[in-house]
């Protein structure tokens, strides 16, 4: 077992629990913070996801840029967008994206 990851999980769990529990203990007085700050924290989450998505999909400096590295993620993302727009089912959409990624890997590999 990896002690640092467990510590990370514990610390994140504690912080998240505190955020959830404090309003119950303070009688709901924490919702007087500026609404724009609340909104910005919400948007920060989306921006982290967008940044990680880019890092997950784009090849690194040592990897070749060509059909073998670009076609699978492109096919996977296209299938994910199409199936989610059609069905709006998370599980099925992820499976469809993974299937498209796998087929494209076989096609260009």
Residue ranges in 11-30 that form contacts with other proteins under rule CB under 8 A: 11-13, 15-17, 19-25, 27-30
Cβ of residue 29: shortest distance to other proteins, in angstroms? Answer: 8
Cβ of residue 62: shortest distance to other proteins, in angstroms? Answer: 8
Name which of 38 and 67 has its Cβ closer to other proteins: 38
Cβ of residue 73: shortest distance to other proteins, in angstroms? Answer: 7
All residues at 6 or more sequence positions from 65 whose CB lies less than 8 Å from its CB, including other chains: 59
All residues at 6 or more sequence positions from 75 whose CB lies less than 8 Å from its CB, including other chains: 100, 101, 103, 104
Handedness of CA 62, 67, 70, 73 (dihedral sign): negative
Q: How many positions of this chain bind other proteins (CB under 8 A)? A: 74
DSSP code at position 109:
-
Handedness of CA 52, 54, 58, 62 (dihedral sign): negative
Q: Which of residues 31-90 bind other proteins (CB under 8 A)?
A: 31, 33, 36, 38, 40-62, 72-73, 76-77, 80-81, 84-85, 89-90
Cβ of residue 76: shortest distance to other proteins, in angstroms? Answer: 5
71, 86, 106, 107: residue in contact with other proteins (rule CB under 8 A): 106
Among 56, 89, 60, CA closest to 72 = 56
């Amino acid at each position: 077992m990896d002690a640092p990851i467990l510590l990370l999980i514990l610390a994140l769990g504690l912080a998240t629990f505190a955020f959830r529990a404090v309003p119950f203990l303070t009688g709901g007085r924490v919702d007087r913070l500026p609404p724009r700050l609340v909104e910005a924290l919400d948007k920060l989450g989306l921006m982290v996801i967008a940044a990680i998505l880019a890092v997950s999909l784009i090849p690194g400096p040592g990897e070749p840029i060509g059909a073998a590295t670009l076609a699978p993620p492109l096919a996977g993302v296209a299938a994910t967008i199409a199936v989610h727009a059609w069905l709006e089912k998370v599980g099925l959409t992820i499976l469809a994206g993974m299937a498209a990624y796998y087929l494209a890997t076989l096609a260009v590999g």
